[in-house]
């Protein structure tokens, strides 16, 4: 895959990763402390999310160019599980029940973000 095509494929995934995670991302605040808007743009966070989208695009390029398009859903579910759950499962033991639900919802949102990104990459790489 050419560099120009990688950039074109990376752009929608980068937009998804930069816009999706900040929605409801503040799990550490109580409901009374939550800001009125659910979207909190953060340049540092968006910068890391852009890099994350780049790595995922390169992984997808490797997958789709060498192994074909079959099984992409399972690949992105597994990668999403690796990204979403380990950090939150460590925190799971140390928080109350309400925050556990928040952690689970955020982990599932991260997992969904990876599956949606996989669908985008699958459709754009063909």
Please give the pLDDT value at position 53: 92
- Could you write out the DSSP letters of every residue in 29-72? S-GGGS-SSS----HHHHHHHHHHHHHHHHHHHHHHHHT-STTH
Q: How far is CA 114 from CA 30, 31, 43, 94, 98, in A?
A: 27, 27, 21, 26, 25
Alpha-carbon span 59 to 76, nearest angstrom: 10
Which residues of the chain have a pLDDT value below 70?
Answer: 1, 21-41, 69
Please give the pLDDT value at position 46: 80
Please give the pLDDT value at position 17: 86
Please give the pLDDT value at position 117: 93
Please give the pLDDT value at position 25: 55
């Amino acid at each position: 895959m050419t560099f120009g095509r990688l950039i074109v494929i990376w752009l929608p995934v980068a937009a998804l990763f930069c816009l999706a995670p900040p929605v409801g991302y503040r799990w550490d605040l109580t409901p009374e402390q939550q800001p009125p808007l659910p979207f909190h743009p953060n340049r540092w966070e968006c910068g890391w999310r852009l890099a994350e989208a780049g790595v995922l695009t390169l992984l997808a390029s490797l997958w789709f160019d060498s192994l074909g398009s079959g099984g992409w859903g399972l690949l992105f579910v597994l990668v999403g599980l690796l990204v979403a759950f380990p950090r939150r499962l460590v925190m799971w033991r140390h928080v109350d029940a309400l925050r556990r639900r928040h952690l689970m919802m955020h982990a599932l949102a991260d997992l969904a973000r990876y599956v949606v990104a996989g669908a985008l990459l699958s459709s754009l790489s063909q």
